[in-house]
């Protein structure tokens, strides 16, 4: 699978979504858990959606109108999305660790 770039921010978002892969999470909640600003988060979510890992949907208006808050957009894995996310994270972490071991040691 060729998917989105596995930046540290993308990996953080995937980790949040993988905490409970079957549970939809809304954007602000994901941003807080991942330690990201929403301006950073939403392009990542868009790329994950374009890659076919996640889908999004808006909550029912009755759910937010009663609470007097803006409508939430929820995100969740689709199909094999969670499995592909685990694999992408594993590949990214393996690549990162192999790059670290290839760096020259100071003083050599």
Stretch 17-40: mean pLDDT: 96
Report the distance separating Cα 78 and Cα 42, nearest Å.
18
Q: Tokens 């290839």, residue?
A: 102
3-state secondary structure of 67: coil
Nearest to 13 by CA among 75, 59, 56, 72: 75
- What pLDDT, in 10s, does the model give residues 39-95? 999 999 999 999 999 999 999 888 787 888 889 999 999 999 999 999 999 988 888
Q: Give yes or no for residue 1 having a pLDDT over 50.
A: no
Report the distance separating Cα 48 and Cα 57, nearest Å.
14
- What pLDDT, in 10s, does the model give residues 97-107? 665 555 555 65
């Amino acid at each position: 699978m060729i998917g989105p770039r596995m930046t540290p921010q993308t990996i953080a978002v995937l980790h949040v979504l993988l905490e409970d892969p079957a549970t939809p999470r809304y954007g602000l909640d994901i941003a807080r858990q991942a330690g990201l600003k929403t301006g950073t988060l939403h392009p990542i979510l868009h790329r994950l959606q374009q890659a076919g890992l996640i889908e999004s949907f808006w909550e029912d208006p009755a759910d937010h109108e009663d609470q007097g808050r803006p409508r939430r957009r929820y995100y969740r894995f689709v199909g094999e999305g969670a499995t592909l996310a685990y694999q992408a994270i594993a590949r990214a972490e393996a690549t990162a660790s192999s790059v670290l071991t290839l760096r020259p040691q100071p003083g050599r």
